Structure 1
């Protein structure tokens, strides 16, 4: 079994090669039924060990410092994907998971801003998914970067597990446009949907935020998302993650 150090060395090399790639899971509007966005999910296919669990990969990347190179690689690949969608007339957004540690590098926001301008991306076409637990955001160097990126058109989504609604202080303090309902909570819900899920949707809508239900695997899950008043949904029922950048 490789050590964390071995995996860190392997990951550093993988970022420069073809072992790291993105798969995309569409999000649909529950109002129109049309694809409006896709979440980019990072995958690592190790030449000896096979597919590395994403949680393990991100943990190794954050502890080793490789998260910066990995995040830049994923961002650049997703922006190329956006260009491909636009060329085929698909006006979709791409959502990318980012680690708060990436904002410790002050050049990250500048790079994003430069790419946003160079590629002439439409506001809202790039979404960064942030975890709900954001201790680094209190750092004075991080929050200004979030607001700067929001001003140029990058949107932020608050994701991650949680049975309680994000606090009003968090929603007011962060420039978020979206809240995601964790898939495990949606799948565990019974009809009528639980009060905690309903409260999360109501709080988000009260702050002018859209709500995405994750982990939709059955028609019952989809019915719950509609019943809750969610704006978008994603999950295996709608489409499994795929490396192709064009969905029919």
Structure 2
């Protein structure tokens, strides 16, 4: 049985190999129905253990410090994919999850700026997603880096919005472009819950933020997202995560 230390060693090696790869789940505009972006999801196919649960992978990466190399690997894959999409006429954005630990690296913002410029990517094409439960206790600790990212055209998304987490008022000082409603909230059919979510969406729009509904699995869920006033949606109904990027 492999220990946590063994997995950390395996992951450190895997980051430089094809064991680590990205899959992409599209987001559609609820106004036009067209694909406008895709979220990049990191996957690890271990040669002995098979597919490693993403939560386990990220936990191992953060505890061991491999998160910096893993995060950079994912960012570079996303930037390469953006360049490929542009080459083939797909004017999409890509969203990639980042860990607060990555902001500890002084070269984090510089690397994104240099690699984006090298590929001459359009502003707004790269979206970095944070989750509220992973933000530092004092969000202002990452504020200088977030502002620097915004200055070079990177957009900032915040996941976990609307689930009894910090209010939008508390997060007002963060330079956000987008918030994401978790799937389990979007799929709720309780009228009272939907009224509260609709108020959250309206509050986000009042601050000029885009709202993405996650976890859309049925036409009913899609209808809920539309009735809530969300701008975009993603989920298995639209497309499962895909490494081949064969979207129409």
Task: Provide TM-score, normalisation by structure 2.
Answer: 0.95
Match of 1:153 in 2: 153
**Cα distance, 1:193 vs. partner?**
5.9
Moved more, 18-27 or 156-165: 156-165
In structure 2, the residue corresponding to 1:38 is in which secondary structure? strand
Alignment of 1:107-118 (within 5 A): 107-118=107-118
- For the Cα contact (< 8 Å) 1:164–1:200, is it kept in 2? no
In structure 2, the residue corresponding to 1:26 is in which secondary structure? strand
Q: 1:244 to 1:137 in 2, by over 3 A?
A: farther
Match of 1:95 in 2: 95
**Cα distance, 1:75 vs. partner?**
0.4
* Cα distance in 2 for residues equivalent to 1:184 and 1:121: 34
- For the Cα contact (< 8 Å) 2:30–2:226, is it kept in 1? yes
**Cα distance, 1:32 vs. partner?**
0.3
Match of 1:37 in 2: 37
The answer on 1:67 being equivalent to 2:67 is yes
Match of 1:167 in 2: 167
Match of 2:194 in 1: 194
The answer on 1:219 being equivalent to 2:215 is no
**Cα distance, 1:137 vs. partner?**
5.2
In structure 2, the residue corresponding to 1:188 is in which secondary structure? coil
Q: 1:211 to 1:135 in 2, by over 3 A?
A: same
In structure 1, the residue corresponding to 2:130 is in which secondary structure? strand
- For the Cα contact (< 8 Å) 1:157–1:178, is it kept in 2? yes
**Cα distance, 1:190 vs. partner?**
3.9
Q: Deviations over 1:130-185 (max 9, x none)?
A: 01131165464x21111011011000100036523642344321111000000111
**Cα distance, 1:204 vs. partner?**
0.6
Aligned-CA RMSD value:
1.6
Q: 1:118 to 1:62 in 2, by over 3 A?
A: same
Unaligned runs of 5+ residues in structure 1 are: none
Task: Provide TM-score, normalisation by structure 1.
Answer: 0.95
- For the Cα contact (< 8 Å) 2:181–2:212, is it kept in 1? yes
**Cα distance, 1:115 vs. partner?**
1.2
- For the Cα contact (< 8 Å) 1:225–1:233, is it kept in 2? yes
* Cα distance in 2 for residues equivalent to 1:118 and 1:240: 31
- For the Cα contact (< 8 Å) 1:124–1:154, is it kept in 2? yes
In structure 1, the residue corresponding to 2:127 is in which secondary structure? strand
The answer on 1:11 being equivalent to 2:8 is no
Q: 1:180 to 1:95 in 2, by over 3 A?
A: same
Match of 2:2 in 1: 2
Q: 1:63 to 1:162 in 2, by over 3 A?
A: farther
User: Which 4+ stretches in 1 moved above 6 angstroms?
Assistant: none
- For the Cα contact (< 8 Å) 1:98–1:130, is it kept in 2? yes
In structure 2, the residue corresponding to 1:173 is in which secondary structure? coil
